[in-house]
Structure 1
């Protein structure tokens, strides 16, 4: 594997250029995937700012707002790594309310948030309409390998030692979920743009997936 060093700003700029190069008919669904320490939402926000300057309508959605209720997430206990990997995300709702409406023939009418995991209640968010040529930026963890429809995917990858070092101690029970994800999905290679993020200030883009 060969990696090309990039700064966070350069990465955001190159990804923005790739997204903006797409035809403006229809929508572009972008998945930004990574374990919590990689802060995929920060990259998604940076892309959103740049795309809006270019005149592209942008909708930000976080997979964390499409988790299942606690009664379902914690059926096997609060610290079950396999459950976090397999069942925490409400894939059906994410497809139905976000990704499907932005696919070919879709309505463009999206529910940007469904469930507040902190309060364990529905968000009661209003539907939003993403204009033609708009870009969906969806961030979250463990998103690839599920067959979620999208036009571009980015994975922020951490080596096992870096993940263990940067993940808060109270979250170490989830390490097996991320190890399993890395082994089964190989997201660094599966993503359209794989980024090594062991050092958040000095990223490296996998040459096999040039931007």
Structure 2
């Protein structure tokens, strides 16, 4: 059950987003560390935004992985491999972000790859109405190759030890036990995020920061000069 404090903050954020003006779909990135709570926040926000009456397109960057042989070419524990090789950035832009962006035809796809079976897929395109809102969660969404594809970015802020505790508890069975999972976080996920921070400063560039250290009592900061700041001032 969502706490009243969290629900109130989610509703506040949803109202600001619903009041953004646009003549085409709005593309929202939910960015942050591995296991920071990006997917949960994106799902919650999508649910809140349904009250606006606008079509909500809810998806994840995980539909755009690259083949296993490419993802792990630098080694299963490589941080550089996770940052540079995990996702098909060209497909994200070509199939999802550009069609919904300025001058796009609004026929979009939410996936190009079946991760479970390690094969490409040819998804049928769907049409987004002008007032649609895309909410996509994932890591490294503000990297240079993707940054221009977003109309709004929300960074889910968590302390390193908080996100890792959550991630290890979540991924232990999937990744081969507690020790193996802890090692992957130490060797791959943690340094990959440090690389991302050094290259893109995602927390500084985002339109909003959603601190998720305390799940029941999150905090929201709106960046001055970002797209949400003007909306917030007018509400």
Structure 1 residue runs of 5 or longer lacking an equivalent are 1-5
Q: Deviations over 1:125-168 (max 9, x none)?
A: 32111111111111111211322411110010122232333331
Q: Partners of 1:185 and 1:193 in 2: how far apart?
A: 15
TM score, norm. by length of structure 1 = 0.88
Q: Of residues 83, 86, 89 in structure 2, which corresponds to 1:85?
A: 83
Alpha-carbon spacing, 1:8–1:118, altered in 2? closer, same or farther (3 Å): farther
User: What is the RMSD computed on CA atoms of the aligned residues?
Assistant: 2.0
Give the equivalent residue in structure 2 for 1:29: 27
Alpha-carbon spacing, 1:119–1:148, altered in 2? closer, same or farther (3 Å): farther
Q: Of residues 193, 197, 206 in structure 2, which corresponds to 1:178?
A: 193
Q: Of residues 198, 203, 207 in structure 2, which corresponds to 1:192?
A: 207
CA contact 2:100–2:106 (8 Å) conserved in 1: yes
CA contact 1:187–1:194 (8 Å) conserved in 2: no
Give the equivalent residue in structure 2 for 1:3: none
How many residues of Structure 1 are paired with residues of Structure 2 in the alignment?
206
Structure 2 residue runs of 5 or longer lacking an equivalent are 169-177
RCO greater where, 1 or 2, for CA within 8 Å and sep 6 or more?
1
TM score, norm. by length of structure 2 = 0.80
Q: Deviations over 1:189-211 (max 9, x none)?
A: 21100122222222122354555
Which structure has more helix as a fraction of its residues? 2
Q: Partners of 1:175 and 1:22 in 2: how far apart?
A: 34
CA contact 1:30–1:135 (8 Å) conserved in 2: yes
Alpha-carbon spacing, 1:154–1:47, altered in 2? closer, same or farther (3 Å): same
Which structure has more strand as a fraction of its residues? 1
